[in-house]
Chains A and B, each alone.
Chain A
């Protein structure tokens, strides 16, 4: 590393706490877990490449959201033309909301990890296939031997259950 190279430790110290918010932001834009994961990787690389331009007096997350926004637009131009759910006006609202929620979200995410352990076994496999394997609903239905409608209901209930658990633990 040269003397002018960005500080790796400093980058990690700022990037890691922002990573989850970035992933959520990208997912809000693209609505697809796999695509969001790809874009997060690309964004992380660009963030590192441009880290020397980052003004440490500003919020790292705000800066990173701006970079991610550009990556999303670029990706859409290259891969997924068509109107997005989140246009420029709505993006401003979404970004602002993410920054407002930033202080409380780490706790929420920790609670989610805990709640995941309490998820009924009947839901665990469907959730695993969806979020670990990235399986489509059809694939999950075949994998666990249920109808597509049943899988939708199962995942819906799992999400509700997890969200309720996070809320209840958060209130305690």
Chain B
């Protein structure tokens, strides 16, 4: 719509159109078909905004708002029962069709056993589940954190989350339709699973066939097939088992989040009945714990628990190609609480903080420090490595000037020096910058300093260890002879810097340091030291105690991966182009 027409339309709706402007607008609409079309669209747009907002007020409030004349109209309509019934939907009374049949947890916008009012938004709160049943027996199960609206006779608008539907056979001319931000799924009768992410709609069909439409494109999705509709890709259907991360990422828009369906870590957790004494597995993530990126196998390795929380010491890996979790080891069933080493030779469960790193040249996981299970206990000062091939732990027993190790330390692996750079927190006298030479199996202390609640990343272009968190942002040149701390003064990203243990990684291809601790992603140009902030819908809630190394850049996919809880899907974040 051109600016002048826009101005005239706004003035028209504001009651501010002069006689001259009225004549101008009328002439424009008569003589310019494009202007007429845009104006009609514009009026429809305003009218629909009004409708949406009236619906949101709900039936009761809407009736309260009716002016006396409208009230009379309502009363006169009520005098004719048939007429009232006929206008029931229009006046926002409950619609025929669906009712809330069952509920686990809490749902907003609907009452158990009651019909769903037309236009009402329905949201499952947290991990709640709800099932809607239509008069024809069609069932729609809403998953956790799912928002739907516009539940009409044969239509559901899915805005967020996921649902599973078992649709009874529908008339050929009136298929059940699921509308999402990216497309529509039309169903004549089948079983399907539909989920909406930040910029993609994923449709999985279990039985029958579903037509998924995005704009002018459409694809028929058969049983055991999946299709993803997004802005950036051609619609296609493929067997469910063949879905790969690359397909999903390719469809993501720059500066967007993607919650990867079906990727909660809990599904890989050991049988709780068998390991009940190990306490709540949510501590794997929530108890100040981190992760590392195994670049050889393209997977995010997660290890955590400890403190007074989870006592299992098992390792997990999220495969970034198959999008599946794997439990790499079983937990030690009878941990030697109060000790660093279990009777089976494995390390005691712990809050791992930022004490994990992937040793690329050795293809091992490095682990040091943290807060052992059933703390307070001894310092976790053993340098461990985990062999992914044999799936065994090794106490490295290194030489040199070893860090005492404690909670709140930080580490990052530098492929150029082939060392783990370690920021030690324990007491100012012993704290400082250390490095661990993997091949020499030897520690060196470089400088006294005090690290606490920072996350670090290696700027591989400049050879700098850059640390952020707990109100500090500073670096060390780790490829020169004598590392010296340099504090960075920047403007912006104050909230990220203030956080303890934020997510933080360096992207060599774009030469950016990228941090996240909930909300907007913060991007720092290490050359200019200028921050950029990128807010995008769909970000997960940050883990309360920090993100640690569970936020990692995945070069093969050009996205960040983050794990925020065992009951949360793994998320991808695709950075903006150039950043």
Interface residues of A (CB under 8 A from B): 1, 5, 8, 11-12, 15-16, 19-21, 23-28, 31-33, 36-38, 41-42, 44-45, 48-49, 83, 85-87, 89-90, 93-94, 97-98, 101, 105, 107-114, 116-118, 127-128, 131-132, 137, 152, 155-156, 159-160, 162-163, 166, 169-172
Known: A44-B87, A48-B83. A113 touches B40 (CB 8 A): no
**CB neighbours of B51 from chain A (8 A):** 19-20, 23
Kindly report which residue of chain B lies nearest to residue A163, judged by CB atoms.
B45
A97 lies within 8 A of B50 (CB):
no
- Shortest A119–chain B CB gap in Å is 11
B30 lies within 8 A of A112 (CB):
no
A24 lies within 8 A of B47 (CB):
yes
Question: Which stretch, B69-77, B302-310, B410-418, B490-498, touches the partner chain A?
Answer: B69-77
**CB neighbours of B214 from chain A (8 A):** 172
> Can you pick out 6 interface pairs between chain A and chain B where the beta carbons lie within 8 Å of each other?
A8-B86, A16-B152, A26-B47, A101-B41, A112-B48, A172-B230
**CB neighbours of A19 from chain B (8 A):** 51, 90
Interface residues of B in 149-189 (CB under 8 A from A): 149-150, 152, 157, 159, 179, 181-182, 184
Interface residues of B in 43-67 (CB under 8 A from A): 43-54, 56-57
**CB neighbours of B26 from chain A (8 A):** 85-87, 90
- Shortest B491–chain A CB gap in Å is 22
Question: Which stretch, B12-20, B326-334, B372-380, touches the partner chain A?
Answer: B12-20
**CB neighbours of B46 from chain A (8 A):** 24, 27, 33, 131, 159
For chain B, give the interface size range: 35 or more
- Shortest A144–chain B CB gap in Å is 16
- Shortest B232–chain A CB gap in Å is 8
Q: Of A114, A137, A172, which one neighbours B231 at CB under 8 angstroms?
A: A172
**CB neighbours of A166 from chain B (8 A):** 45
Q: Of A85, A132, A169, which one neighbours B17 at CB under 8 angstroms?
A: A85
A33 lies within 8 A of B12 (CB):
no
Residue B481 at the A interface, CB < 8 A? no
**CB neighbours of B57 from chain A (8 A):** 132
- Shortest A161–chain B CB gap in Å is 12
Given contacts A20-B51, A27-B43, A127-B53, 20 further A-B contacts (CB under 8 A): A5-B82, A12-B89, A25-B43, A27-B47, A28-B39, A33-B47, A37-B50, A37-B54, A90-B30, A93-B30, A94-B36, A101-B40, A107-B184, A108-B44, A110-B150, A112-B45, A113-B159, A131-B49, A172-B214, A172-B215
A23 lies within 8 A of B47 (CB):
yes
B159 lies within 8 A of A28 (CB):
no
**CB neighbours of A113 from chain B (8 A):** 52, 149-150, 157, 159
Residue B1 at the A interface, CB < 8 A? yes
**CB neighbours of A94 from chain B (8 A):** 29, 36, 40
**CB neighbours of B52 from chain A (8 A):** 112-113, 116, 131
A36 lies within 8 A of B30 (CB):
no
**CB neighbours of B85 from chain A (8 A):** 8
A156 to B42, CA, bound (A): 12
A131 lies within 8 A of B50 (CB):
yes
A1 to B82, CA, bound (A): 7
**CB neighbours of A24 from chain B (8 A):** 40, 43-48
A38 to B66, CA, bound (A): 9
**CB neighbours of B89 from chain A (8 A):** 12, 16
